[in-house]
């Protein structure tokens, strides 16, 4: 998996500066000789964050303040089942109080409404909407709900599922989410979010089976 | 009577009572299940369904609702309560929707996924697979991709998703915050299943207490505004039991005090109540012991109704006290003993008609009252005169109506007037009979409404409507169920039902599974198709090896059997719906949303299927109740004819017999008319109460008759005194019952109080005035 990451980063049109500048802190870093150093760096980063007054609380409040801004995204999935990355792009929009609209525009059009109560509605042209309820599969509900909670800046929802750790300063911060729940940890290794001020720019989800999702976000014009 | 004789009698009765009490305590079981009111003649499917209702999983369910506070508070309380109860271990399962579908079940369904649907080569052809892979890629780009990336390698055609959709299609409750809630989100909902059947009320009581204790603990942690309400068959039964006990305790206390005052007023002695209660107590004790000997058990409802009917026995000692023990020693027919004997025999004939009712509870009631009457009679004649101080119980003057107070002309008109009013009133009533036994349910209406709402919100099964299949073994039933599928589809299409819960979706017959195994294409073929389907798609060449492996294994693996599901949630359902019953097996198919029961019944009547019956519990019980009522009426008519013959033989005059019977018949007519005017519809319990009215009013009429024929000066005053106290005590006891909030008790109370008061007035009104002595000669 990790062997694949730099390669795909290089190949990926998504490979932005964030990915390349901090590859070592992505989950699984312990396999690398530089891991200890990376961890040390992280530890050092904490007091710095405090010094600049940048902490989880501020980060979340800043993100929540921007929550309603429509975003466009480009996603790349590196899956064990596939030989090549699976790409898609579209728009994301939060509808208060807690619904997330995810509209896939490329390579085809489909709209997902990720509502409260772990309900997902799938709307496709010339097809009746399909509803999936995830409540019976908590891990799946958590995975689906995480993006919504992140974009909403819903700290308590995130803290129920993950241990959160902030690094960096307001201009370039990273947030690491490590599953608390053993059930969720069976599926997810680590989530990594990068951003500037109240804007989330990049999201990486590393799954336990080696699947890797990378999503780049920017304000939708 | 010598002193020695007296002590001998008392000692004998004490010994007999102790023997009876021992027998009741040691050898007689009290049954409190509803089977007392289920006819013997119920057909096989009906019996099975009743069994399900009483002992099936539905009877073990406790439905919980948390209301009040905020939504977050309710959700948190639901989680905390469920966790605490699961840890407690006294409940078999506790569900609030937060858990994943049981993982074992998912594993089983996944393993057998290619045997649970008709699949053919076409489903695994190149084009079909290519389409499936395209859909797979789409799912991988969806928010659900983490799930699909795990499932796709073994299940590229999405069989499992289809199965799970079928599983969740069963009406799932609404959700908020990951737990079940009512549709308007005002309540958080949970279902607990107790390990014991709903009939085990002691066990159920302990479980209910455990739930309430756990909730109290949870509530102190969270918001105090939360409230817990419980429902379910056992909870309702417990509520009724508590309510009946509270009400009867209070009513019993008031009645005892009232009787004490009444008898003290009538006899000026406290002994009257003590001795007067002996025949009644003896009647219940010996009657119960007799049931213990004959049946080994007593239905609770039999005991309750028996105590009611045997209230007639309090009249016997009152006659004795009012007349004085000396009255017993007169000639056999002129003396008190003769009239008492006639009263007992005729009442016994009336109560005895219950022996042929066909309902176990009422048959027992017939036996109990027959033995009880006999016991009360012998205690009154044999024991009471021997008791110390009984001769000091003397009547004191009471305000009483005079014999024959109704003027002669009015007497002639009375029957016609009463009959006319009755016909007029009853003919304008839409329905006289109450065939819906549920209308008399002792469960308070608000609890019933709440139960229905919870059941609806939780999608808990309603077993009132079902198809029942009977066969020689499991396989035969599963095959029959599969053969039934087109008929069910037809009924759904016709709008008769919304759906049916068939087990064969998850447990097909061996026949079907074998056929499906054979229909699956060869794995080499599918492998080739897959290679072609993958061309141009990003899937790894070997990515679907798990799928091919499973397909290959499925073709030869041993088929799915019911045992495999043991311990899963579907296993519980299987046990509930499919089981052995005596020599054969039965399968229940619960029906949802039955809109036209009549249409359904007609459908299965016109095109019957071997071993399949449609059961509509409500219609069936209504039919049974109506049938029983007709039979009971016929038997009462027969009993009436029989006791008229007895009266005729004893009184040796058609005219005298008619005179005795007239007030009785008029009292019954007046009773029914007044009940109808009161808005009551007559039920089984009214009929049983009318039997008591019949027995009591016949007793009054016989004593009035005796007063007319006997030693006029003393006897008519004594008879009037006795009848007044009899009436007052009966109206007191049953009038109190009429205030009960429990429909059955209210029905009995009203019927008896009105009927007995009417009989008393009519007996006095229609009696010959003693001065005229019209038929004394």
What residues of A are in contact with residue B98 (Cβ under 8 Å)?
135, 138
B713–A contact, CB cutoff 8 A:
no
Question: For B174, which residue in chain A has the nearest alpha carbon?
Answer: A117
Supply the pLDDT for residue B176.
Answer: 77
Supply the pLDDT for residue B372.
Answer: 94
pLDDT > 90 fraction of chain A, expressed in percent and rounded = 25
* Other C-beta atoms lying within 10 Å of the C-beta of residue A154: 20
Considering only A39-48, B136-145, B633-642, B698-707, which range has the smallest mean pLDDT? Answer: A39-48
Nearest-Cα distance to chain A for B153, in Å, is 7
B149–A contact, CB cutoff 8 A:
yes
Q: Which of A80, A104, A143 sits opposite B141 (nearest CB)?
A: A104
Supply the pLDDT for residue A192.
Answer: 94
Supply the pLDDT for residue A6.
Answer: 36
Per the structure block, which two tokens stand in for B189?
A: 């909902």
Query: Is pLDDT above 50 for A2?
Result: no
Q: What gap in Å lies between CA A202 and CA A74, rounded to an integer?
A: 10
Nearest-Cα distance to chain B for A140, in Å, is 7
Report the pLDDT averaged over residues A152-171: 88
Residue matched to tokens 């001795």:
B275
Average model confidence (pLDDT) for chain A? 74
Query: Is pLDDT above 60 for A14?
Result: no
Supply the pLDDT for residue A48.
Answer: 42
Question: For B165, which residue in chain A has the nearest alpha carbon?
Answer: A132
Q: Answer yes or no: do A104 and B152 touch at CB < 8 A.
A: no
Helix axes B44-55, B617-651, angle to 10 degrees: 110
Interface with B, mutate which of A114, A135, A149, A160 (most B CBs under 10 A): A135
What residues of A are in contact with residue B543 (Cβ under 8 Å)?
81-82
Ramachandran bin of B154, using left for φ above 0, alpha for ψ from -120 to 50, beta for the remaining angles: alpha
Q: Answer yes or no: do B144 and A133 touch at CB < 8 A.
A: no
Query: Is pLDDT above 90 for A121?
Result: no
Interface with A, mutate which of B98, B144, B168 (most A CBs under 10 A): B144
Supply the pLDDT for residue B665.
Answer: 92
CA distances from B449 to A187, B201, B228, B236, B456 (A): 44, 22, 16, 12, 11
Q: Which of A133, A144, A211 sits opposite B149 (nearest CB)?
A: A211
Q: Answer yes or no: do B141 and A86 touch at CB < 8 A.
A: yes
Q: Which of B138, B146, B538 sits opposite A84 (nearest CB)?
A: B538
Q: Which of A83, A138, A140 sits opposite B147 (nearest CB)?
A: A140
Q: Answer yes or no: do B149 and A132 touch at CB < 8 A.
A: no
Q: pLDDT-derived band of residue B436, with 50, 70 and 90 as boundaries?
A: low
Query: Is pLDDT above 80 for B656?
Result: yes
Q: What pLDDT, in 10s, does the model give residues B43-58? A: 666 666 666 666 666 6
Q: pLDDT-derived band of residue B168, with 50, 70 and 90 as boundaries?
A: low
pLDDT > 90 fraction of chain B, expressed in percent and rounded = 24
Question: Are B372 and B306 contacting, i.e. CB atoms less than 8 angstroms apart?
Answer: yes
Question: For A146, which residue in chain B has the nearest alpha carbon?
Answer: B143
Q: What pLDDT, in 10s, does the model give residues B363-422? A: 888 899 999 999 999 999 889 888 888 878 888 888 888 888 888 888 888 888 989 988
Supply the pLDDT for residue B773.
Answer: 41
Q: What pLDDT, in 10s, does the model give residues B212-267? A: 999 988 887 656 788 999 988 888 888 877 887 787 778 878 888 888 888 888 88
Nearest-Cα distance to chain B for A206, in Å, is 11
Supply the pLDDT for residue A43.
Answer: 38
What residues of B are in contact with residue A104 (Cβ under 8 Å)?
141-142
Q: Answer yes or no: do B178 and A140 touch at CB < 8 A.
A: no
Residue B468: helix, strand or coil by DSSP? strand
Q: pLDDT-derived band of residue A97, with 50, 70 and 90 as boundaries?
A: confident
| CB pairs < 8 Å spanning A and B | 87
What residues of B are in contact with residue A80 (Cβ under 8 Å)?
149
B172–A contact, CB cutoff 8 A:
yes
Supply the pLDDT for residue B221.
Answer: 60
Nearest-Cα distance to chain A for B74, in Å, is 15
Q: Which of A88, A144, A187 sits opposite B141 (nearest CB)?
A: A88
Report the pLDDT averaged over residues B652-681: 90
Q: Answer yes or no: do A83 and B539 touch at CB < 8 A.
A: yes
Peptide bond into A107 cis (omega under 30): yes
Supply the pLDDT for residue B259.
Answer: 85
Q: What pLDDT, in 10s, does the model give residues B85-131? A: 888 878 877 888 776 556 778 888 899 999 998 998 899 999 999 99
Nearest-Cα distance to chain A for B178, in Å, is 6
DSSP B292-306: HHHTSEEEHHHHHHH
Q: Answer yes or no: do A83 and B146 touch at CB < 8 A.
A: no
Q: What gap in Å lies between CA B315 and CA B312, rounded to an integer?
A: 6
Q: Between B162 and A82, whose confidence is greater?
A: A82
Report the pLDDT averaged over residues B505-514: 92
Interface with B, mutate which of A79, A121, A128, A149 (most B CBs under 10 A): A79
Supply the pLDDT for residue B283.
Answer: 93
Q: pLDDT-derived band of residue A39, with 50, 70 and 90 as boundaries?
A: very low
Q: Which of A81, A135, A188 sits opposite B543 (nearest CB)?
A: A81
Q: pLDDT-derived band of residue A42, with 50, 70 and 90 as boundaries?
A: very low
Nearest-Cα distance to chain B for A31, in Å, is 24
Question: Are B178 and B96 contacting, i.e. CB atoms less than 8 angstroms apart?
Answer: no
DSSP chain A: -TTHHHHHHHH-TT--HHHHH-GGGSTTGGGSTTHHHHHHHHHHHHHHHHHTT--HHHHHHHHHHTTTS-EEEEEEEE-TTBSS-EEEEEEEEEETTTEEEEEEEESS-EEEEE-GGGEEEEEETTEEEEEEE-TT-HHHHHHHHHHHHHHHT-HHHHHHHEEEEEEEETTEEEEEEEE-SHHHHTTEEEEEEEEETTEEEEEEEEETTS-EEEEEEEE--
Residue B192: helix, strand or coil by DSSP? strand
Per the structure block, which two tokens stand in for A119?
A: 């309900």
Residue B660 CB burial class (10 angstroms; 0-12, 13-18, ≥19) = buried
Q: Between B436 and B449, whose confidence is greater?
A: B449
Question: Are B712 and B776 contacting, i.e. CB atoms less than 8 angstroms apart?
Answer: yes
Supply the pLDDT for residue A32.
Answer: 39
Per the structure block, which two tokens stand in for B627?
A: 């049938």
Q: pLDDT-derived band of residue B18, with 50, 70 and 90 as boundaries?
A: very high
Q: pLDDT-derived band of residue B642, with 50, 70 and 90 as boundaries?
A: confident
What stretch of H or E contains B766?
A: helix B743-766
Question: Are B600 and B594 contacting, i.e. CB atoms less than 8 angstroms apart?
Answer: yes
Q: pLDDT-derived band of residue A33, with 50, 70 and 90 as boundaries?
A: very low
Report the pLDDT averaged over residues B591-619: 81
Supply the pLDDT for residue B244.
Answer: 75
CA torsion sign, A138 to A143 to A147 to A149?
A: positive
Q: Answer yes or no: do B168 and A117 touch at CB < 8 A.
A: no
What residues of B are in contact with residue A207 (Cβ under 8 Å)?
146, 149
* Other C-beta atoms lying within 10 Å of the C-beta of residue B514: 13
Q: Answer yes or no: do B101 and A136 touch at CB < 8 A.
A: yes
Give the range with max mean pLDDT: A126-135, B629-638, B725-734.
Answer: B725-734
Query: Is pLDDT above 90 for B11?
Result: yes
**Cα radius of gyration (chain B):** 35
Q: Answer yes or no: do B138 and A187 touch at CB < 8 A.
A: no
Per the structure block, which two tokens stand in for A113?
A: 């409404």
Query: Is pLDDT above 70 for B138?
Result: yes
Q: Answer yes or no: do A112 and B143 touch at CB < 8 A.
A: yes
B543–A contact, CB cutoff 8 A:
yes
Q: Answer yes or no: do A187 and B176 touch at CB < 8 A.
A: no
Considering only B291-300, B559-568, B658-667, B709-718, which range has the smallest mean pLDDT? Answer: B709-718
Question: For A82, which residue in chain B has the nearest alpha carbon?
Answer: B539
Supply the pLDDT for residue B462.
Answer: 58
Q: What pLDDT, in 10s, does the model give residues B258-285? A: 888 888 888 888 788 889 889 989 999 9
Q: Which of A84, A132, A188 sits opposite B144 (nearest CB)?
A: A132
B151–A contact, CB cutoff 8 A:
no
What stretch of H or E contains B180?
A: strand B179-181
Q: What pLDDT, in 10s, does the model give residues A125-142? A: 777 777 776 655 666 777
Q: pLDDT-derived band of residue B731, with 50, 70 and 90 as boundaries?
A: very high
What residues of B are in contact with residue A83 (Cβ under 8 Å)?
538-540
Q: Which of B142, B153, B174 sits opposite A81 (nearest CB)?
A: B153
Average model confidence (pLDDT) for chain B? 83
What is the CATH code of the structural domain delimited by A56-219?
A: 2.50.20.10
Considering only B7-21, B488-502, B504-518, which range has the smallest mean pLDDT? Answer: B488-502
Q: Answer yes or no: do A118 and B178 touch at CB < 8 A.
A: yes
B401–A contact, CB cutoff 8 A:
no
CA distances from A195 to A42, A60, B268 (A): 17, 11, 99
CA atoms within a 13 Å half-sphere pointing along the CA-CB vector of B435 = 15
Q: Which of B97, B150, B538 sits opposite A82 (nearest CB)?
A: B538
Q: Between B412 and A118, whose confidence is greater?
A: B412
* Sequence-distant (≥ 6) Cβ neighbours of residue B631 within 8 angstroms: B356, B357, B358
What stretch of H or E contains B64?
A: strand B61-67
Q: Which of B101, B145, B147 sits opposite A77 (nearest CB)?
A: B145
Q: What gap in Å lies between CA B345 and CA A188, rounded to an integer?
A: 85
């Amino acid at each position: 998996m990790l062997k694949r990451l730099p390669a795909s980063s290089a190949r990926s049109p998504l490979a932005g500066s964030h990915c390349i500048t901090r590859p070592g802190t992505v989950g699984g870093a312990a396999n690398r000789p530089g891991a200890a150093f990376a961890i040390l760096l992280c530890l050092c980063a904490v007091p710095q964050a405090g010094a600049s007054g940048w902490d989880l609380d501020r980060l979340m409040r800043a993100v929540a303040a921007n929550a309603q801004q429509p975003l466009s995204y480009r996603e790349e999935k590196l899956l064990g089942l596939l030989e090549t990355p699976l790409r898609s792009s579209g728009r994301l929009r939060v509808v208060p109080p807690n619904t997330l609209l995810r509209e896939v525009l490329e390579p085809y059009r489909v709209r997902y409404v990720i509502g409260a109560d772990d309900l997902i509605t799938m709307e496709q042209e010339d097809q009746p909407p399909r509803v999936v309820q995830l409540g019976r599969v908590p891990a799946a509900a958590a995975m689906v709900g995480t993006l919504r909670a992140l974009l909403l800046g819903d700290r308590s929802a995130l803290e129920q599922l993950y241990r959160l750790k902030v690094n960096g300063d307001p201009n370039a911060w990273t947030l690491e989410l490590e599953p608390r729940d053993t059930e969720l940890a069976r599926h997810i290794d680590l989530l990594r979010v990068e951003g500037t001020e109240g804007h989330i720019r990049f999201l990486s989800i590393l799954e336990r089976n080696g699947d890797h999702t990378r999503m780049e976000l920017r304000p939708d014009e | 009577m010598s002193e020695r004789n007296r002590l001998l009698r008392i000692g004998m009765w004490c010994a007999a009572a102790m023997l009876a009490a021992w027998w009741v305590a040691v050898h007689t079981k009290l049954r409190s299940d509803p089977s007392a009111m289920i006819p013997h003649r119920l057909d096989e499917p009906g019996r099975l369904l009743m069994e399900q209702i009483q002992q099936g999983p539905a009877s073990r369910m406790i439905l919980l609702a948390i209301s009040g506070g905020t939504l977050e508070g309710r959700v948190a309380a639901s989680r905390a309560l469920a966790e605490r109860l699961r840890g407690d271990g006294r409940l078999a399962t506790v569900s609030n929707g937060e858990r994943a579908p049981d993982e074992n079940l998912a594993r089983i369904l996944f393993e057998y996924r290619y045997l649970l649907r008709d699949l053919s080569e076409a489903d695994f052809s190149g084009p079909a697979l290519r389409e499936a892979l395209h859909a797979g890629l789409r799912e991988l780009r969806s928010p659900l991709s983490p799930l699909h990336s795990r499932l796709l390698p073994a299940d590229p055609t999405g069989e499992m998703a289809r199965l799970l959709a079928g599983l969740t299609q069963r009406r799932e409750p609404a959700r908020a915050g990951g737990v079940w809630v009512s549709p308007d989100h005002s309540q958080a909902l949970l279902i607990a299943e107790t390990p014991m059947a709903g009939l085990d009320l002691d066990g159920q009581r302990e479980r209910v207490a455990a739930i309430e204790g756990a909730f109290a603990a949870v509530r102190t942690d969270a918001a105090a505004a939360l409230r817990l309400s419980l429902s379910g068959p056992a909870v309702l039964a417990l509520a009724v039991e508590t309510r009946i006990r509270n009400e009867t305790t209070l009513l019993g206390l008031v009645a005892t005090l009232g009787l004490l005052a009444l008898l003290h007023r009538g006899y000026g002695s406290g002994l009257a109540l003590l001795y007067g209660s002996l025949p009644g107590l003896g009647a219940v004790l010996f009657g119960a012991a007799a049931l213990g000997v004959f049946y080994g058990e007593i239905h609770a409802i039999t005991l309750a109704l028996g105590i009611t009917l045997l209230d007639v026995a309090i009249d016997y000692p009152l006659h004795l006290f009012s007349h004085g023990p000396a009255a017993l020693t007169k000639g056999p027919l002129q003396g008190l003993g003769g009239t008492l004997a006639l009263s007992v025999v005729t009442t016994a004939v009336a109560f005895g008609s219950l022996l042929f009712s066909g309902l176990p509870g009422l048959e027992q009631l017939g036996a109990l009252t027959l033995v009880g009457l006999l016991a009360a009679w012998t205690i009154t004649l044999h024991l009471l005169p021997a008791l110390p101080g009984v001769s000091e119980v003397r009547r004191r003057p009471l305000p009483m109506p005079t014999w024959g107070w109704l003027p002669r002309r009015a007497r002639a008109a009375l029957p016609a007037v009463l009959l006319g009013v009755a016909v007029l009133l009853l003919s304008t009533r839409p329905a006289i009979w109450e065939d819906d036994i549920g209308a008399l349910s002792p469960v308070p209406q608000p609890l019933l409404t709440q139960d229905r709402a919870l059941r609806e919100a939780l999608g808990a099964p309603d077993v009132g409507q079902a198809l029942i299949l009977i066969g020689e073994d499991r396989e035969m039933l599963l095959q029959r169920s599969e053969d039934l599928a087109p008929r069910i589809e037809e009924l759904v299409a016709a709008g008769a039902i919304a759906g049916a819960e068939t087990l064969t979706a998850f447990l097909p017959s061996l026949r079907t599974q074998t056929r499906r195994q054979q229909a699956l294409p060869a794995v080499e073929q599918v492998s080739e198709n897959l290679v072609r389907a993958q061309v141009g798609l990003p899937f790894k060449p070997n990515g679907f090896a798990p799928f091919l492996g499973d397909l290959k294994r499925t073709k030869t693996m041993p088929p799915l059997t019911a045992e495999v599901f043991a311990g899963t949630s579907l296993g519980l359902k299987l046990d509930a719906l499919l089981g052995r019953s005596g020599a054969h097996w039965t399968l229940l198919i619960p029906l949802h949303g039955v809109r036209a029961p009549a249409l359904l019944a007609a459908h299965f009547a016109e095109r019957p299927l071997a071993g399949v019956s449609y059961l509509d519990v409500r219609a069936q019980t209504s039919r049974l109740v109506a049938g029983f009522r007709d039979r009971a009426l016929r038997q009462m008519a027969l009993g009436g004819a029989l006791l008229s013959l007895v009266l005729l033989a004893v009184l040796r005059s058609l005219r005298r017999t008619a005179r005795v019977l007239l007030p009785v018949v008029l009292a019954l007519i007046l009773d029914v008319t007044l009940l109808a005017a009161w808005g009551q519809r007559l039920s089984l319990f009214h009929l049983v109460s009318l039997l008591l009215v019949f027995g009591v009013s016949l007793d009054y009429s016989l004593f009035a008759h005796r007063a007319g024929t006997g030693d006029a000066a003393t006897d008519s005053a004594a008879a009037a005194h006795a009848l007044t106290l009899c009436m007052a005590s009966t109206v007191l006891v049953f009038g109190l019952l009429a205030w009960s909030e429990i429909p059955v008790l209210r029905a009995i109370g009203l019927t008896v109080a009105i009927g007995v008061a009417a009989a008393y007035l009519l007996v006095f009104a229609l009696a010959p005035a003693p001065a005229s002595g019209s038929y004394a000669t």
